[in-house]
Amino acid sequence: MPATGERGGGDGAAPAQWHRVLTLLAVVSLFIGTRSVWTEASVHRLALAAVISGCYAAILATGVLALTVRRTRSLARVDLLVLLTALTLTGCAWALAHAGGDEAALTTQAARQLAAGRPVYGQPWPWLFHGRSIALTPTMSGGYDYTYGYPPLAPLLTAPLLWTGHGGTPATAMATLALGVGAVLLWRMLPVPWRSAATAVCLGFGFLPSYARQGYPAVPALALLVPVVVGWPRIGRGGRLGRAGIARAVCLGAACAAQQLPWFVTPFLLAGLYAVRRGESGGRVATRMLLRFVGLAAGTWLLIDAYIVVREPGSWLREVALPLTQDAIPHGQGLVGASLYFTGGGDRIAWYGHAGILLALALVALSVLFARSLGPAATVLPWCAFYLATRSQDGYYLLMTPLWLAAAVSAPTSEFAEAWQPRPRWLRHRGALAGAAALLVLPALTGSALAVTGRPPLRMTVTAAPETGARTLTGLTVRVTNTGDTPLTPHYMFARGQIMSRYWPQRHGPTTIPAHTTATVTLRPPDGRLPLPRARLRLRAFTPTPQTLSTVVVRTDELERLR
């Protein structure tokens, strides 16, 4: 609420105190990570260091102005200055670190393939990762994902920027530009008092700019979703899409052609949109409007993909679905951490993925059943399913958080007050509704319970580390017992905390261990030697069929005693 003596009103009125606080929070968010950027620039790029020092001055000045200006119009100008400062800092950070990671390397190579008229999908590029400290995505089968597994819009946007540099630089430039555009769009589309919140969420705290500098294709997808989500319950009001509705449908289709994360939020937006329009105009009008919207979005998606679909339809379909089918190893901060860190593994790892899909389906159904209550959370609900999934990384949540802000500001609960909710006779009792909700989430909870309670099928004991030098490990001998009823083909790697290394090649011993038997295997580090940290290591064994994980904790001092 406004403080005493301050009124929220026209441009000439005094700004509300909460508006001042939001601006100040946005200013504070720009401090995060700025010192490390300045420190590096002061050594390598003095001109950039001078620019960053100017940004520090702007941060201090806007902090003072946020608390002292007397008119809403003046504070709006301060908000604009905060945005420009954030954009400048984002550009400086990219100028200093723009090589990118695995996403950038793959996206840039896909862009080069497109520019040269060569195939994009189904082409492994392992040489992109040789001799470079770029993260790999290991799979349960003991290999790595070396192919481009995203829709083609990101490479199409990267192709005009191939001149910007080598390695993943073009992809990081594209993603950073897309983030800037998305931040400006969100800033411009939100009401004036909320604009600094857009600056903080998109460009502050160092979160999203770091993902952009890694070249994530999800960043342009986020930018395209911004105009879709701002005020999304008003799409098709009165049964007519109009120019704004058509533009939003095109943006949604383009976002789905950039990366797979928009695929998960789309069903929630469509379900909520249908519920709102049906409550307003009836089922027939709502259905016609929704079909036009979906048709425009799908047409845009297919139009962007058309060139690839015609040239390489089979490989396009396989690779676009790859993040859902690649069987990457478990990783992340969600429920899968129970098997990764607490129970030593499990023999039902695939059930994490099944539980995530089941929860996603249940949440879509619940958002229809309780549209008036859950509609405002349509941009947050999809990511709840990732908490149960095999890959439950924080990036899946962070990358779409600007959409949470957009919905919170522009899609309040009042927009859903008259939304249609299916209420057949057997569901009109409160107890029946609660029972239906419980039944919808029960399969996901059951799948999660199956995954968490699985037992690691391999029992491993390190018996020798004969080539351990001075704080360096060059070999390992492990006794492995298969306690299960199925022959298993394990693939081994060391992990320190949540950091996964590459798989360790096996020098001696059987590759497949029959049920209820014990074998001795000798492993070697992928680079020939492993520097030993002063910390506990986890030796993990993954098997693809069935998908299992077994872990043994190995202390550094224990390895030294085995020399």
User: Is the pLDDT confidence value at 430 over 90?
Assistant: no
pLDDT of residue 5: 39
2: pLDDT confidence band, cut at 50, 70 and 90?
Answer: very low
Given a contact cutoff of 8 angstroms between Cβ atoms, the answer to whether 468 and 492 are in contact is: no
Distance CA(53)–CA(60), nearest Å, equals: 11
| 3-state SS track over 476-528 | EEEEEEECCCCCECCEEEEEECCEEEEEECEEECCCCECCCCEEEEEECCCCC
Sign of CA dihedral 483, 484, 490, 492: negative
pLDDT of residue 133: 67
User: Is the pLDDT confidence value at 9 over 70?
Assistant: no
pLDDT of residue 554: 85
pLDDT of residue 537: 84
Overall average pLDDT of the 156-177 stretch: 94
Beta-ladder partners of 178: none
Overall average pLDDT of the 229-249 stretch: 94
Overall average pLDDT of the 522-548 stretch: 85
What are the structure tokens assigned to 518, written together? 């014990």
Of 18-27, 129-138, 380-389, 416-425, the poorest mean pLDDT is in: 129-138
DSSP string, 116-129: TT---TT---GGGT
pLDDT of residue 7: 44
* Residue 57: burial class (beta carbons within 10 Å; 0-12, 13-18, 19+): exposed
Given a contact cutoff of 8 angstroms between Cβ atoms, the answer to whether 89 and 52 are in contact is: yes
Cβ–Cβ contacts within 10 Å for residue 378, how many? 27
What pLDDT, in 10s, does the model give residues 322-366? 777 778 899 888 999 999 999 999 999 999 999 999 999 999 999
214: pLDDT confidence band, cut at 50, 70 and 90?
Answer: very high
Given a contact cutoff of 8 angstroms between Cβ atoms, the answer to whether 214 and 174 are in contact is: no
Distance CA(272)–CA(233), nearest Å, equals: 7
What pLDDT, in 10s, does the model give residues 506-520? 999 999 999 999 999
What pLDDT, in 10s, does the model give residues 463-515? 888 665 567 778 889 999 999 999 999 999 988 777 777 899 999 999 999 99
Distance CA(189)–CA(179), nearest Å, equals: 15
Distance CA(541)–CA(495), nearest Å, equals: 11
Distance CA(269)–CA(234), nearest Å, equals: 12
Distance CA(436)–CA(87), nearest Å, equals: 48
User: Is the pLDDT confidence value at 131 over 90?
Assistant: no
Distance CA(4)–CA(333), nearest Å, equals: 44
3-state secondary structure of 472: strand
User: Is the pLDDT confidence value at 421 over 80?
Assistant: yes
pLDDT of residue 468: 56
Cβ–Cβ contacts within 10 Å for residue 14, how many? 20
Distance CA(428)–CA(422), nearest Å, equals: 9
Given a contact cutoff of 8 angstroms between Cβ atoms, the answer to whether 23 and 30 are in contact is: no
Mean pLDDT of the chain: 90
Cβ–Cβ contacts within 10 Å for residue 204, how many? 27
